[in-house]
Chain A
């Protein structure tokens, strides 16, 4: 195996990358949908937005593998960033640089790799958009153009900041390690501490701007059963898929966080309760549509939601609102699960009138 040499502009390149403030930030739908498109349009099982740091590659988005980083020594992307052209390895077993690479000889058993270098427009490559397969392949000119187009979409996203201002500011203020401490390593969304930090700021912002702010506690139904019947690995996969699917249904300004166990907190800034219900029903539908390959048989999941709003005029203490959301989540469970309970509804709709269709 050959470890990739450092690019001549390594220091400047790393400064570009760190300046983006993107390392150790949560997964974001705007990147996930591009890696999904790579898998779909090139028919590959694995795709990633890989950012190459001094000793590792960190995946801002990855489809097909449950990892968020690997060492730089084994990274195909470390080779790909050495040039500005697409870097293609048609069969890793036939390439002396990669034949002995542990990513090739062991799981995930990479045979094919294609990476388009990503730069911020100055020619310094900070990472790649890559497509990976477990069988040897060749790419046509059209395939390469497709991957280039998708890489352009990644660059556009890197140059445009995320839509939630609070998150952008928070990410910019924190050092990388501080950010990492606010992110849940399994699902790669904000953890409870991260959520509380953002919530405090969003409450202040709602107060200043006199805008609505709604929060929702979401709990995956019968999650214990998933773990018991299908094992913890699949349980983890359910949590990961839940997070990604929820993000794809939420607005880009909404915040998803893992509140603990199988419970998630969603913040919907500038969103009244009725509007939030529309968004959350859309999310529940997407969750219901997910299918998992179980031990013996495929299975599906549902989730229950308790919603509470911070009133426009007078912002209630955070604890009180969260407690209310928690109470309604419990009511949703009582109500038969797979439904949303909002203000004033946990009596009136206790008969199931609000059950999600």
Chain B
């Protein structure tokens, strides 16, 4: 399972790519919708959580074992929430404004493989179902962004389709 996940992640060729506005717009939209101090789109390989887009902190990657995205990936829930005080993220990420809660949803490809996470830092938890749906909707759209890139370098239909579903 983990090797398949890493293989899919590798196929997306997203890690270590430059800043792209099409991913920036998700963190922009999140900070807009949730009025949050921190928002991130990140991907997790064996060792690290790598940030494709961040708002509200300066960070490009951190060790996976210290990361919130890793929690999201290892969970089986659609929405994962944790208090920053228990995570101690302040030691690895220089937040503009340290959040109290972190709330995230997985970026899924191939139906089951959690290759990354979309998450926000808030001063409260995210209880309303509509709010959770917004987060999940955006994660699905991010998968579509990944798909756009995939179309350029994967030509075998079955693989493309498996990744996209």
Does A277 sit at the interface, judged by CB under 8 A? no
**Do residues A36 and B141 form an inter-chain contact, with CB atoms below 8 A?**
no
Among A37, A159, A165, A270, contact of B137 (Cβ-Cβ < 8 Å): A37
Shortest CB–CB separation between residue A194 and chain B, in angstroms? 20
- CB of A146 within 8 Å of the partner chain: yes
Complex interface bits, A148-165 against B, C-beta within 8 A gives 1, otherwise 0: 011011001101100101
Q: Which of B25, B134, B158 contacts A40 (CB 8 A)?
A: B134
Summed over the interface, the residue pairs from A and B with CB atoms below 8 Å come to a total of 64
A327 CB–B CB distance under 8 Å: no
Contact yes or no, B32 A146, CB < 8 A: yes
A153 to B137, CA, bound (A): 12
Least Cβ distance of A155 to chain B in Å?
Answer: 10
B147–chain A nearest beta-carbon distance, Å: 6
Q: Which residues of B contact A270 (CB under 8 A)?
A: 161-162, 165
Complex contact A160–B144 (CB within 8 A): yes
Partner of A153, one of B25, B129, B151, B161: B25
> Closest residue of chain B to A282, judged by CB?
B78
Q: How large is the interface on B (under 10, 10 to 19, 20 to 34, 35 or more residues)?
A: 20 to 34
Instruction: State A270–B111 Cα separation when bound (angstroms).
Output: 11
Q: Is B138's beta carbon under 8 Å from chain A? A: yes
Given the known A-B contacts A146-B32, A149-B28, A289-B129, are A36 and B148 also in contact in the complex, defined by CB atoms under 8 Å?
Answer: no
Contact with A along B11-35 (1 / 0, CB 8 A): 0000000000010010011001100
Q: Report the nearest B residue to A275, measured CB to CB.
A: B111
Contact with A along B147-163 (1 / 0, CB 8 A): 11001000001100110
Q: Does B71 contact A (CB under 8 A)?
A: no
Query: Within the complex, what minimum Cβ distance (angstroms) separates B44 from chain A?
Result: 23
B48 within 8 A of A: no
Contact B165 A37 (CB under 8 A): no
Query: Could you tell me if B25 and A152 are in contact, using CB atoms closer than 8 angstroms?
Result: yes
User: In the bound complex, what is the Cα–Cα distance between A209 and B133 (angstroms)?
Assistant: 35
Contact residue among A29, A30, A41, A160 (Cβ-Cβ distance under 8 Å from B33):
A41
Contact B32 A153 (CB under 8 A): no
Could you tell me if A153 and B141 are in contact, using CB atoms closer than 8 angstroms? yes
- Known A36-B134, A156-B145, A252-B165; further 10 A-B contacts with Cβ < 8 A: A29-B140, A33-B140, A37-B29, A37-B134, A37-B137, A153-B25, A156-B22, A159-B148, A209-B158, A253-B165
Interface residues of A (CB under 8 A from B): 29-30, 33-34, 36-37, 40-41, 142, 145-146, 149-150, 152-153, 156-157, 159-160, 163, 165, 209, 251-253, 270, 275, 289
Q: List 9 A-B contacts (CB under 8 A).
A: A30-B140, A33-B140, A34-B141, A36-B134, A37-B134, A41-B29, A163-B147, A163-B161, A163-B164
Instruction: Mark B residues whose CB is within 8 Å of A.
Output: 22, 25, 28-29, 32-33, 111, 129-130, 133-134, 137-138, 140-141, 144-145, 147-148, 151, 157-158, 161-162, 164-165
